Structure 1
Amino acid sequence: MSVPSASLAPATTGRIADPAPVGAHRWPAWLVPGLPASLALALGLWGLHRQGAVWRDEAATWEVAQRSASEIWHLIGNMDVVHTLYYLLVHALFEGFGANLTALRLPSVLGGVVAAAVIAATGRRLAGPLGGVAAGLALALLPVMQRYTQEGRSFALVAAGVAVGTWLLTGVLGPAGPTGTSARRDEHRNRTAGLWRWCAYATVMLATALLNWLSLFALAAHGITVLLTRHEGQRRLLTRWLVTAVIVVAGTLPLIVASSRQTRLVAWIQPPSAASLLGVTAMLIVALACTRVPTTPDRQRTRLSPASVGLPLLAVPHLGLLLASWLVKPLYVDRYVLYASLGLSLLVGPALAWSARTVAARIRTRHHRGRPRAEALLGAVVAVAFLALLPLELSLRTPLSRTDDVRAATREVAALARPGDGIVFLPAQRRDMALVDPPPFGGLADLALAKSPTASGTLYGVEVDPTEIQAAMLSRKRLVVVSDSGSSPQAETPQDLAKLSTLAHHFTLTSSDDAGGRRVATYERNERPR
């Protein structure tokens, strides 16, 4: 799969001036990032609470963020070290505003807003004001972005960090300054400013990598962009990028090493499916088609193009993680490389803007009255896209849009449980219900729990030996059992096997209800074992 170099980096001869972008006189400076940011904010706040639903990944954030800083530090020594910075951030929000869904999800909403605004500003540098606005609006409308800007996890914040890093990089690599005496006079000042920009870029990319070190694929994508940039000082730029990359990787290395010791936590990830491969292939085909569109206005010549920035940013994270999944360990999950959507937006947005300009120009040629403006045509396209996506957008804001709903299952436990019942979680990870919403579990004995999550420095606690689990279950006449809906519980540990065996030989199922992707069942002990 190859792309002509002409589409990746427009040819330049010597140093060229930095002309004003086409249409700049019609666009206030704030409007280009402001429009996408406003749309991203509106979409992020729309249905933010999802009727109070919390799914299992958010439940982990919810529970950990309510621990003290020392307890969080205890946890990351055993698991989830990759999320340390994010957990501390949400912990600080909970300390200031209380544990609630708004505080849990608002960082992601703001991450989506920043990403849309900054990608619009980056797109303006690459393809003019209309191209920038289109890129930002495209990002805000992407269903995958709409989903993760409403979740209490770090992925939208990582996307925002990569967006800012990309903007800083394009500022360093962007249009050349004027030639002549004034350029020579300002050369030292420009080099000093450039060093400060590289420092800012290193800081942002390091902070982003500490949120999730898989964002280092974006750093590699930026390296390809530097290589594709035609610049008389390219060797100097490449050297500076390499130094920056070494600093960022070195700063992230302790986190990478620590998380490599906790790979058991991602053992649930399967090898890339055919659907994943098809989805990535489809995105790359669309991206390659967009690189053939002359997205840069004729009078705006730059060293960079949407393709030279956007295509690596889209392709490298997806292909890199897929390759790692095949060669090292299955790791490919699309949300881990959510920030690759920034690259897709930088390609699709300017292509849409060029199409709007082209259609508007052709209509002007044929008709002298009622001449449409490209901005109006682009607005119509965005409105049609919003309406076309409306069924999906509505479904994303319902509890059923996620794998499960911890709180819905908790309500079912409250309805079925009786005083004196014992409760069994199959597997132990389903204990997150009691951690997110403890009151309904206050009168129930957790028969398998030996050490609480906080005391053990784990997410779901430490369970007793299988023989003790069996004895505890047999000491109760009635049990409430929580498992996943849709299939029979599977034994993942010896403790789980003991739970299943005891239920099968000593108890009879009396009721079973599914709620929020989980099954809540009640069992009564047999007079005689089967």
Structure 2
Amino acid sequence: MPVWVLPVLWTVALGSWGLSRQGSVWRDEAATWQVARRSSAEICHMLQNVDVVHGSYYLLMHMLFECFGAGTTTLRLPSVLAMAVAAGCVAVIGRRLAGAWAGLAGGLAFGMLPAVQFYLQEGRPYALVAAGAGISTLLLVAVLQGRAPGPRRAVLRWVGYGVTVVLMGLLNWLSLMILAAHLATLLWCGARREVWLRWAAVSVTAFVCVLPLIVFSRGQAAQVSWIPPLTWHMMIGPAVLLAIGGIGALLDRPRSRRLSVAAVGLPLLAVPQLGLLTASLVQPLFLDRYVLYSLLGLALLIGAGVGAAVQAVGHRNAVAAKWVLPVVVAVAMAGLLPQSLAKRSVASRVDDVLAIASDVQRTKQAGNAVLFLPSTRRDAKSVSPEAFAGLREIALLESPVESGTLKGVEASPERIRAAMLRQKRILLLADTPAVARPVKGERDRMKTAVLRTHFRAVSDVEVRGRRLTVYERIERTGGAQGVPAKSRLPR
């Protein structure tokens, strides 16, 4: 049986376990959901204004939603299958460089890594980038091993390498740092001049193909302005990963001018992590998902360590050696079980768009108005428009689809104030205090001020990171002023 079969099946099983997360969808996935349900023309209109970096992924998900319908399975299954491909590539690379046990261990380890388990069930493009990293690295290893495949097959490998890197770049152009990782591998193993020339030509071509996206997306850089500046605390995670990877590299007994797991895995792990940390010194960009694909290198190095353990035990007892990997996997799964369960729970994400939409449907009454604070919380309506049917959008000037945005365009603060004062009952959809950010912007401050002064809260529900508060207009008769519930409003 090919060495990749078990890791692929193992990863698919891990991804299928709790795939729906109790029917929840959080805000990042809600962006995918609402955009995928638009027409191709509407998506292209939106990409001119926002999220062009994810344009290729949105168009892919649009096609899948058209074919299979909108749902959590359609949303997340592509990530499960992509991670399975990545695990299979890890297994094949490990077998080529360090033997079957190392390949099998690396492929199984990849699916168990906590970060991989998180994005394994995420309706975003990061798992697809990881699959591309696995395929491109496998093709590079095949070239470096120098097994004369014939001119036609050699050309196909380089074409496949270039196309895969381009697709990775179109899904997330920060993934082009894999070229720097592969450069380090070429330097480490002393690649032939012919390989250098072809790799350079293909890499430059791939970069040029992605360059227009990079340039255009810089005009939308405000989208990542929320990412916090780099701190020492944020560097702990990468440091731990590099330490584990370094131990695995030492167990592989690395030597210069030799193609090995260390020569491939350590650069693949270290270069993207260190590259993103360095870039974050100029502009805050450090989010682990941007370099998720680097964990293929960690899995390769873990596999090499387990493979070395199997060999060491095999010198003394051949029967016992066969049990090393099953025992390691069982112990790892037992140790990671609490995390695995947590990542498949609703609480693993900051909120749930679908749950609060259900509460809106139960709470609304004919003639009610609805407000969103901030306007990005309109994603609940974009994902579940039927739950908001009959509610009047008193702040909205242009819908998300019409404006080519994710959150729509709202009216001026004065118009919002005037519209609010004409209402008797308003439903406010906001974040819970635990995850809410300070109120910013004139429009949101106006919403807060009018509700505090002229309305009182009659019900307040918090569901999975979202908050639904119902406000009724204060009747000022006979000098009675009422008591506005100031403490209920976001500050």
Match of 2:270 among 305, 308, 315: 315
Structure 2 counterpart of 1:264, which letter? A
Unmatched tracts of structure 1, length 5 or more: 1-27, 178-185, 365-370
Distance 2:114 2:453 in 1: 47
Q: Which moved more, 1:149-158 or 1:406-415?
A: 406-415
What's the secondary structure of 2:274's corresponding residue?
helix
Quote the Cα distance in structure 2 between the aligned partners of 1:136 and 1:445: 52
Choose the corresponding residue for 1:165, options 132, 136, 143. Answer: 136
Mapped to 2, the partners of 1:277 and 1:350 lie a distance apart of 25
1:261-285 Cα offsets, whole Å, 9 max, x none, are 1011111111124332001111111
CA distance in 2, matches of 1:287, 1:449: 51
Residue by residue, what CA displacement relative to the aligned partner does 1:127-148 show, whole Å, maximum 9, x if unpaired? 1111111110110111111111
- Judge conservation of contact 1:295–1:350 (CA < 8 Å) in 2: no
SS at match of 1:303: coil
For residue 213 of structure 2, the aligned residue among 246, 252, 255 is 255
Are positions 1:346 and 2:300 aligned together?
Answer: yes
What is the number of residues matched between the two proteins?
A: 477
Residue of structure 2 in register with 1:379 after alignment: 326
State the distance in 2 between where 1:472 and 1:460 align.
19
- CA displacement 1:240-294 (0-9 Å, x = unmatched): 2211111011000011011111011111111124332001111111111111113
Question: What is the distance in 2 between the residues matched to 1:69 and 1:416?
Answer: 34
What SS does the aligned partner of 2:258 have?
coil
Q: Quote the sequence identity (%).
A: 46
Q: Is 1:116 the equivalent of 2:76?
A: no
Determine which of 213, 218, 239 is the counterpart of 1:281. 239
Of 335, 341, 349, which residue of structure 2 is paired with 1:394? 341
SS at match of 2:99: helix
Specify the code of the residue in structure 2 equivalent to 1:442: A
Check conservation: 1:483, 1:489, Cα contact below 8 A. no
The residue aligned with 1:325 is 280
1:196 corresponds to: 156
What amino acid does structure 2 have at the position aligned with 1:259?
S
Once the two structures are TM-superposed, the CA of residue 373 in structure 1 deviates from its matched residue by 4.0
Measure how far apart 1:191 and its partner are: 4.9
Q: Which residue of 2 aligns with 1:434?
A: 381
Aligned to 1:207: 167
Question: For 1:295 and 1:513, how far apart are their aligned partners in 2?
Answer: 58
User: Hey, what's the Cα distance between the residues in 2 that align with 1:198 and 1:132?
Assistant: 23
Establish whether residue 94 from structure 1 lines up as the match of residue 49 from structure 2. no
Say whether the 8 Å CA contact 2:190–2:257 is kept in structure 1: no
Within the candidate set 452, 467, 473, 1:519 is matched to 467
479-488 vs 417-426, which deviates more? 479-488
Aligned partners of 2:32 and 2:123 also within 8 Å: yes
Alignment partner, residue 357 of structure 1: 311
- Cα distance in structure 2, aligned partners of 1:290 and 1:420: 64
Cross-structure match for 2:489: none
Name the residue aligned to 1:4.
none
Q: Equivalent residue of 2:284, what SS? A: coil
Q: More displaced, 265-274 or 423-432? A: 265-274
**Cα distance in structure 1, aligned partners of 2:205 and 2:123:** 29
* 1:426–1:489 contact (8 Å) kept in structure 2: no
Taking the aligned partners of 1:160 and 1:196, their CA distance within structure 2 comes to: 19
> How far has the Cα of 1:76 moved from its partner?
0.3
Which of 17, 26, 30 pairs up with 1:59?
Answer: 30
Alignment of 1:481-520 (within 5 A): 481-487=428-434, 490-520=438-468
Report the 3-state secondary structure (helix = DSSP H, G, I; strand = E; otherwise coil) of the residue aligned with 2:251: coil
The amino acid that maps onto 1:461 is G
TM, length-normalised to structure 2: 0.93
Question: Which of 152, 155, 163 pairs up with 2:126?
Answer: 155
**CA separation in 2, counterparts of 1:85 and 1:325?**
25
**Distance in 1 (alpha carbons) for counterparts of 2:377 and 2:284:** 24
Please tell me the residue identity of whatever aligns with 2:41: S
Quote the Cα distance in structure 2 between the aligned partners of 1:33 and 1:489: 45
Rounded Cα–Cα distance in structure 2 between residues aligned with 1:501 and 1:489: 17
- Residue type matched to 2:157 in 1? R
SS of structure 1 residue aligned to 2:427: strand
What is the TM-score with the length of structure 1 in the denominator? 0.87
8 Å contact kept, 1:134–1:378: yes
Aligned mates of 2:139, 2:214 — CA distance in 1: 25
Letter matched to residue 47 of structure 1: G
Residue 175 (structure 2) pairs with residue 227 (structure 1): no
Which amino acid in 1 is paired with 2:397? A
Checking the alignment, whether the CA contact within 8 Å between 1:227 and 1:238 is kept in structure 2 is: no
Counterpart residue number, 1:181? none
Q: Distance in 2 between matches of 1:431 and 1:341?
A: 34
Determine the C-alpha separation between the residues in 2 that align with 1:312 and 1:348: 14
Task: Measure how far apart 1:236 and its partner are.
Answer: 2.5
SS of residue in 2 equivalent to 1:381 = helix
The one of 273, 278, 290 equivalent to 1:336 is 290
**Deviation at residue 375 of structure 1 after TM alignment:** 3.1
Alpha-carbon distance in 1 for matches of 2:372, 2:252: 58
Match of residue 488 from structure 2: none
Per-residue deviation, residues 139-175 of structure 1 (Å, max 9, x unmatched) = 011111111111110000100001000000001111x
1:82-111 Cα deviation digits (max 9, x unpaired): 111111111111111111111111110110
Partners of 1:131 and 1:295 within 8 A in 2: no
1:185-222 Cα offsets, whole Å, 9 max, x none, are x7xx7455433321211111111111111110111111
Kindly indicate whether the alpha-carbon contact (under 8 Å) linking 1:360 and 1:377 is maintained by their aligned counterparts in 2.
no
Q: Cα offset for 1:509?
A: 2.1
Q: 1:75 to 1:325 in 2, by over 3 A?
A: same
Alignment equivalent of 2:352, drawn from 405, 408, 426: 405
Residue 357 of structure 1 and its aligned partner are, at CA, apart by: 2.2
- 8 Å Cα contact 1:130/1:375 also seen in 2: no
| Equivalent position of 1:145 in the other structure | 116
Distance in structure 1 (CA, Å) of the matches to 2:117 and 2:230:
23
Q: Which runs of 5+ in 2 are unaligned?
A: 485-491
